[in-house]
Amino acid sequence: MSYTPHDFGRELAPGDEPLDDTGVAHGLRGYLVGLVLAIGLTVASFYVAHSGLVWAPAVATALIVLAIAQMGVHLVFFLHVTTGPDNTNNVLALAYGVLIVFLVLAGSLWIMAHLNHTMPPMGAMMQMQR
């Protein structure tokens, strides 16, 4: 016999869909909520970037925060990555993906920093081209 989260008196996590026969409309509601949140965060990002609402040096930080929120909305509402006991593999796959992205970013920044130090000055580069 299979149990649903409602059998134990607790609610589903946002983006988590029940496995019973509640119909398409119930599953569609989660996607529509995610779509509205994603569109709202996208509009907020453009508004923050193009208005004087946020102090100019803090615009990058505000955009990073909105981007992280956007990733969270996509993970929960569209990819259905939650912290439920049946989603352990999804969370591990997400952690592995984050590790790979971090390694690629860190490696790229390290290469660019060292490339900047080992390149000859512009004058020497111009003489090499002649």
Higher-pLDDT residue of 97 and 14 is 97
Q: State the Cα–Cα distance between residues 34 and 84, nearest whole angstrom.
A: 19
Pair 80, 15: CB distance under 8 Å? yes
Q: State the Cα–Cα distance between residues 130 and 119, nearest whole angstrom.
A: 18
SS3 labels along 82-103: CCCHHHHHHHHHHHHHHHHHHH
pLDDT digits 0-9 by tens, 36-93? 999 999 999 999 999 989 999 999 999 999 999 999 999 889 888 887 777 788 888 8
Q: State the Cα–Cα distance between residues 12 and 83, nearest whole angstrom.
A: 11
Q: What is the pTM of this model?
A: 0.64
